[in-house]
Amino acid sequence: MLSGGNTLKLGLFGANCSSGRNVTKVPERWSGTWPDNLKLARMADDAGIDFMLPIGRWKGYGGETDYQGATLETITWACGLLQATKRLTVFGTVHAPLFHPIIAAKQMVTADHIGEGRFGLNVVVGWNEDEFEMFGVRQREHAVRYEYAQEWLDVIKLIWSVDRDIFDFDGEFIKLKSVRGHPKPYGGTQPVIMNAGASATGRVFAVQNCDAFFMQASRVSVEETAQRVAEVKAAAAGHGRDISVFTVGVITCRATRKEAEAYHHYTVVEQADWSAVDSMLAKRKVLASDMSAEEFQRQRMHFAHGNSGLPIIGDPDHVANELIALSRAGLTGIAVSLVNFADELPYLRAEVLPRLERAGLRVPLTAA
Ligand SMILES: Cc1cc2nc3c(=O)[nH]c(=O)nc-3n(C[C@H](O)[C@H](O)[C@H](O)COP(=O)(O)O)c2cc1C
């Protein structure tokens, strides 16, 4: 998975959704349409970007822009992008409680064959209650969501296993008879599996089951990030496993720091879609009544500029140095968002990627 020699993997996060991840009203905000996704994926593949990670989201957050109101379903999105690219790993973000595991296993195998082994699974248990209401599905109590996900993933892995032909599954939640699934994933290996649980339960699930774990990097210091990475790796080692740790960020890169800061301020302060931000905060139960006015305002800012990704704002030297520091903190990679992915990626490719190559963290494309 995410093969290739890049010590620091770079991915794009959230391009399947209108607005991407910045909660902004600016007219150039990301459309999330299929033609723009296709253009972006081809551009990313050419630039040597390692992966694209979509958001599994079923309806928008409202506000003036109906933030993330138009989303492409992630496994079918991945199929199209995998067909159109050569190197990228493309993830599907799959809600375990909403997809029957036999159907999901086959959909993902299909994507994996289209991409000749480049499909990845981001398994999620569900975050937004109102999405579940829309499906008429009752969201389980938090810890039980992961118990269900454990059975769901066990079934998926059994179906994908080359050693299994027919099996019964008798779990607490899932009971299946004479299950068969062919073909197996492409090339005799299984798709890479990631999870981004933020709770202790979610983290245990990840370290026991997944190849990659996505966590929040510290906004305070890179030392704190290094500490968090070390804790996850130690937890995985406790289960005899090795896990790659990734994070998410929101990059604003311009020729000068001043320009980058000005654009960032324009997009996610002056032109933030504050009504959408407040709707997201309410759904996450981040309430003004539970904290100081200062802390609430801080939370609003975090959500406005990308639903809590690490902000990386500056000139190419600064952006590259921040990424280098994250790599030194032990992170395997970062999934980033841009206000308009396709408009901004060429500048990152031209200015930031070569700096990472010179730092020895990425392999120049010609040598790949
Ligand atoms: C990188 C990343 C991607 C995520 N993608 C989705 C997603 O697409 N859909 C979703 O419902 N939740 C998504 N989540 C939420 C997590 O899967 C998880 O539910 C959340 O971090 C809360 O953690 P917990 O489930 O352990 O409480 C994502 C989180 C992160 C950090």
CA-195 nearest atom, ligand 1: 17
Q: Whose CA is nearest to atom 13 of ligand 1?
A: 124
pLDDT-derived band at 365, boundaries 50, 70, 90: confident
> What are the residues facing 24 on neighbouring strands?
272
User: Taking the mean position of all CA atoms in its chain, how far away is CA 79?
Assistant: 17
Task: Work out the mean pLDDT of the chain and round it to a whole number.
Answer: 95
Quick one: pLDDT at residue 266?
Answer: 97
Distance 70 CA to ligand 1 centre (A): 19
Whether residue 136 is predicted with pLDDT greater than 90 in this model: the reply is yes
Quick one: pLDDT at residue 305?
Answer: 85
pLDDT-derived band at 180, boundaries 50, 70, 90: very high
pLDDT-derived band at 2, boundaries 50, 70, 90: low
Please report, for residues 61, 193, 286, 319, 341, the alpha-carbon distance to residue 280 in angstroms, rounded to integers and kept in the order given: 6, 27, 9, 28, 22
Classify residue 182 by burial, with Cβ atoms within 10 Å: 0-12, 13-18, 19+. exposed
- Please check whether residue 32 is in contact with residue 120, taking contact to mean a CB–CB distance below 8 angstroms: no
Separation between Cα atoms, residue 362 and residue 346, nearest integer Å: 17
Whether residue 71 is predicted with pLDDT greater than 70 in this model: the reply is yes
Separation between Cα atoms, residue 73 and residue 111, nearest integer Å: 13
Q: Whose CA is nearest to atom 27 of ligand 1?
A: 199
* Assigned token pair, 168: 């019964």
Separation between Cα atoms, residue 289 and residue 287, nearest integer Å: 5
Residue whose structure tokens are 């930031």: 352
Distance 27 CA to ligand 1 centre (A): 28
CA-198 nearest atom, ligand 1: 23
Distance 195 CA to ligand 1 centre (A): 7
Distance 75 CA to ligand 1 centre (A): 17
Q: What is the pLDDT of residues 267-310, one digit of tens each?
A: 999 999 999 999 999 888 888 999 999 999 999 998 998 777 89
Classify residue 309 by burial, with Cβ atoms within 10 Å: 0-12, 13-18, 19+. buried
Whether residue 4 is predicted with pLDDT greater than 80 in this model: the reply is no
Cα-based angle 179, 180, 181 (whole degrees, multiple of 5): 130
Q: Which residue type occupies 128?
A: N
Distance 127 CA to ligand 1 centre (A): 7
Q: Which helix (H) or strand (E) holds 122?
A: strand 119-124
Distance 192 CA to ligand 1 centre (A): 17
CA-215 nearest atom, ligand 1: 31
Q: What is the pLDDT of residues 341-351, one digit of tens each?
A: 999 999 999 99
Percent of the chain with pLDDT over 70: 98
Q: Which residues line ligand 1 (CB under 6 A)?
A: 55-56, 93, 124-127, 196-199, 201-202, 214, 248
Distance 44 CA to ligand 1 centre (A): 24
Separation between Cα atoms, residue 3 and residue 332, nearest integer Å: 12
CA-123 nearest atom, ligand 1: 17
Q: Is the dihedral of CA 13, 326, 245, 8 positive or negative?
A: positive
**Mean pLDDT of all residues in 326-332:** 98
CA-125 nearest atom, ligand 1: 19
Site to substitute for ligand 1 among 51, 98, 127, most atoms within 8 A of C-beta: 127
- The verdict on pTM exceeding 0.95 is yes
Distance 215 CA to ligand 1 centre (A): 10
* Assigned token pair, 322: 């921040």
Q: Which helix (H) or strand (E) holds 106?
A: helix 101-114
Q: Whose CA is nearest to atom 20 of ligand 1?
A: 197
Quick one: pLDDT at residue 3?
Answer: 67
- Please check whether residue 88 is in contact with residue 57, taking contact to mean a CB–CB distance below 8 angstroms: no
Distance 124 CA to ligand 1 centre (A): 6
Separation between Cα atoms, residue 108 and residue 121, nearest integer Å: 8
